[in-house]
Amino acid sequence: MGNSISVDTPPKKTTNAKYGVYRLKNTGTSYTIYSNCRTTAKKTVTSYTPMKVGWYLWES
């Protein structure tokens, strides 16, 4: 892949790493708009936006 990373791991710990595209979850409400300008909530919608590409690191 051509991706690399280096970290300092403390004694008696393990550093774990995962590479990928991390997404931001967005939620909102879909509305119906009527000819008299009234609105009613129709349903809840969820979308995901690519936030960043990279490494997720944690120690255990």
Residue pLDDT tens, the chain, 60 long: 567 778 899 999 999 988 888 899 999 999 999 999 999 988 999 999 988 888 888 999
Cut 0.75: pTM above it: no
Q: Answer yes or no: is 6 within a domain.
A: no
Q: How many independent structural domains does the chain possess?
A: 1
- The rounded distance, in Å, linking the Cα atoms of 15 and 58 is 6
pLDDT of residue 35: 92
> Alpha-carbon torsion 16, 18, 22, 25, what sign?
negative
Q: Answer yes or no: is 11 within a domain.
A: no
- Domain span holding position 40: 19-54
pLDDT of residue 5: 79
Site of tokens 């300008």? 37
pLDDT of residue 28: 95
Strands 15-33 and 39-59: antiparallel
Q: Answer yes or no: is 14 within a domain.
A: no
pLDDT of residue 2: 67
Beta strands per DSSP E along the chain = 15-33, 39-59
Q: Answer yes or no: is 46 within a domain.
A: yes
Q: Answer yes or no: is 13 within a domain.
A: no
